Amino acid sequence: MPVSNEEVRVGMTQVVDFFFSPYASAHTRRFKAAVEDGLAHLSQIQPLDPRPGQDVTLSLFVNVDRPIERVAIYYTTDGSEPVGERGSAERGTVIFAEPTDRQQYNADCGQIARIWQAVIPAQEDGILVRYRADGWSLSDPCLHWYADRVDPVTMPQKKGRCFAYHVDRWEAPAWWHEAVVYQIFVDRFSAAHDEPPLHSEETRGITDFFGGTLRGILEKLDYIQALGVNCLWLSPLFESPTHHGYNPSDYHHVARRYGTDEMLRRLIQEAHQRGMRVLLDFVANHTSDEHFAFVDALSNPDSSYASWYDFTDELPHAYRSYAMVQSMPELSTDEPGVREYLNGAALYWLEHYGADGLRLDYVPGPSHAFWTSFQQAVKTAHPDALTIGEITSPMSEIVDYAGRMDGFMDFPLSAMLRRTFALREHTLQELLSFLDAHSQQIPPSMSKAVVVDNHDMHRFLWLADGQRDRLKLATAFQMTLEGTPIIYYGTEVGLSQSDDAHKENAYCRAPMIWGEQQDYDMLAYYRRLVALRHQYRVLQNGKRRKIVVESDVDSAQVGAYIRYNNEDYVLVVLNNSEQTAHVSVQLDNVLNDGRPLPAHLCAMLARPEMEAVLPIHAGRLEISLPPLSAEICVSQK
């Protein structure tokens, strides 16, 4: 029998949501280092996602303590790498930046940077703009700086970073906006009926292989389809020495422990026949130490792959690796050979196996220019494919990837959602106010995924001390928001974890529970929410507006919003308090578009003993919500 959260956590201190702990982001570390060196850019452009016919303004940051008196940009529009120095271009066109009266202060290092700007003229659709920047002193010709020459996160470029953006009209494919995604950690999900059964934590260490397979997933497609999801996201399928697979040894074949290449094609074909899309995980930042290129480069300094990695005695293990983990050597993703190899591998999974899109791991590792090239390769060949990034950064940095991928996992929203519903550190009204401000920051061309939990963070139930009503409330919120919802395998049936993932995050990748171990009430609730999201398309594509409500309980913990478009609207009411809430919602002036109010709304999540029809009197709707619950109210036409 599974051990309950309450049994495991007796005597424990309050759990910490470690995935969202404060830390210096990759952007912050890079900016600090580049400004200290003298000249920073970090792909700061406006507009963020240039369209045909739009001029692009570049911002550069000059350390005021460096005698930089001129700044130049060298750019090309034919895909070639620009070459230039001190205002003279060998390849490409040169433009000069001008200082503005604006400065930026970096509190971490006490440095002040003056902002300089230059404008690259508007380009036609399909143009890749590549550029470099440098600065120099007029009084001392020996003093010279390259933009972003230093990089504490990944491979530094001695002559500065080559930047890039692509001019296009690409956006996330239409099918993504209609999707509900089911994330499967392949090793932990299921084995086929004639394969060795999935191991348990009693028979395997949490970082060992548990025996999940592609055939196991294939045999569970009926279960997945009954949940109502229409998109699968599979964890990395590459050959890899680890259970998680996020350090590939082979970018072109399925790991033998999962099955065969042909089995993946069969799984994707069967999913397609059921109307399901399939996303595959893709890792560009690093390989395993068993990858052929690394093995060859490590043993042979003259290897043609030596430039793919950064070998130096100054680093642990004598080479640069992700998070200093020896088995995860980092790729030099700005190397043309590496870029071509990774772009080709991504296209191979889309073309050879028939995948519909890629979830991009650890986006802040490779440069923005790499992701620009990657997006160009994918979208040129497969315009209907999705690219969605894992960007563990503040929202102000996430938006810099607009145009370089279709969308992002909305971790800032996830953090606030979990702090509100699981940890109770914020009120519902604080969450709704955050959501309004947060949504304004997202560029129109950038889509988002709404995540309650995933493979790198505590299971929601662990964080919520096993309180299932809190998970139901959080999920009702997730399923009624703009953005594509992602369900992490097992969350829909009450799967938690046996120990704190802060010790080892594999604890949040527990083996899937089946049969009588599942919480059937939770499963029914998930199925109902997913069905409602599909039935009422306004929940997929409508706008959202917060509504002021009155209640007889803590007003900070009760709230409502509507999702609406020109044809329809849905009212969502939430009670995040521990008491039954009697809520009054004034509806007559909410939309301000002249459409008449119906005589009543229907409560679609109502418990059987509650009245489902909610009359509207004088523009006001009254509703009672049990503690920690939500209601979705619709107009029946």
pLDDT digits 0-9 by tens, 329-356: 999 999 999 999 999 999 999 999 999 9
pTM of the predicted model over 0.85:
yes
Claim to verify: residue 528 and residue 547 sit in the same structural domain: no
How much is the average pLDDT of 30-48? 96
Claim to verify: residue 48 and residue 161 sit in the same structural domain: yes
Mean pLDDT of all residues belonging to the chain: 94
**Among candidate residues 166, 200, 219, the one where a domain is terminated:** 166
Q: Is residue 422 part of a domain?
A: yes
CATH of the domain at 604: 2.60.40.1180
Domain count, the chain: 3
> Which tokens is 269 given?
């074909």
What digits encode the pLDDT tens for the residues 227-259? 999 999 999 999 999 999 999 999 999 999 999
What digits encode the pLDDT tens for the residues 418-452? 999 999 999 999 999 999 999 999 999 999 999 99
- Other Cβ atoms less than 10 A from the Cβ of 465: the count is 17
CATH of the domain at 509: 3.20.20.80
Instruction: Specify the pairing of strand 600-603 against strand 613-617.
Output: antiparallel
**Among candidate residues 483, 504, 535, the one where a domain is terminated:** 535
Q: Is residue 331 part of a domain?
A: no
How much is the average pLDDT of 156-163? 92
Residues 6+ apart with CB under 8 A from 392: 19, 25, 364, 411
Amino acid at 169: R
Q: Is residue 153 part of a domain?
A: yes
Residue ranges of alpha helices (H) inside 402-549 are: 411-421, 428-440, 460-463, 468-479, 520-535, 538-541
Given 17, 361, 400, 500, the catalytic residue = 361
Q: What are phi and psi of 458, to 5 degrees?
A: -50, 140
How much is the average pLDDT of 306-311? 96
Please tell me the predicted confidence (pLDDT) of residue 331. Answer: 97
Claim to verify: residue 149 and residue 41 sit in the same structural domain: yes
Position 98 pLDDT exceeds 90: yes
Position 272 pLDDT exceeds 70: yes
Given 69, 219, 270, 390, the catalytic residue = 390
Does residue 634 contact residue 536 with C-beta atoms inside 8 Å?
Answer: yes
Q: Is residue 497 part of a domain?
A: yes
What digits encode the pLDDT tens for the residues 180-199? 999 999 999 999 999 999 99
Q: Is residue 20 part of a domain?
A: no
How much is the average pLDDT of 119-129? 98
- Closest listed residue to residue 233, CA positions, set 341, 128, 361: 361
Claim to verify: residue 602 and residue 505 sit in the same structural domain: no
Q: CA Rg, the chain, in Å? A: 26
Q: How far apart are CA 397 and CA 44, in angstroms?
A: 10
Question: Which three-class secondary structure state does DSSP give residue 532?
Answer: helix
Q: Is 390 a catalytic residue?
A: yes
Domain that includes residue 106, residue range: 26-166
Query: Confidence class of residue 314 from pLDDT cuts 50, 70 and 90?
Result: confident
Q: How far apart are CA 188 and CA 185, in angstroms?
A: 6
Does residue 279 contact residue 231 with C-beta atoms inside 8 Å?
Answer: yes
Claim to verify: residue 507 and residue 587 sit in the same structural domain: no
Amino acid at 67: P
Claim to verify: residue 585 and residue 558 sit in the same structural domain: yes
Claim to verify: residue 504 and residue 427 sit in the same structural domain: yes
Claim to verify: residue 424 and residue 529 sit in the same structural domain: yes
Does residue 547 contact residue 619 with C-beta atoms inside 8 Å?
Answer: no
Claim to verify: residue 521 and residue 556 sit in the same structural domain: no
Q: Is residue 370 part of a domain?
A: no
Claim to verify: residue 548 and residue 528 sit in the same structural domain: no
CATH of the domain at 78: 2.60.40.10
Q: How far apart are CA 25 and CA 31, in angstroms?
A: 10
> Which tokens is 41 given?
């850019």
Residue ranges of alpha helices (H) inside 236-291 are: 261-273
Q: Is residue 206 part of a domain?
A: no
Claim to verify: residue 527 and residue 550 sit in the same structural domain: no
Amino acid at 330: E
Q: Is 469 a catalytic residue?
A: no
SS (H, E, C) 186-239: HHHCCCCCCCCCCCCCCCCCCCCCCCCCHHHHHHCHHHHHHHCCCEEEECCCEE
**Among candidate residues 516, 535, 554, the one where a domain is terminated:** 535
Claim to verify: residue 563 and residue 616 sit in the same structural domain: yes
Q: Is residue 369 part of a domain?
A: no
Does residue 507 contact residue 201 with C-beta atoms inside 8 Å?
Answer: no
Please tell me the predicted confidence (pLDDT) of residue 296. Answer: 98
Does residue 333 contact residue 254 with C-beta atoms inside 8 Å?
Answer: no
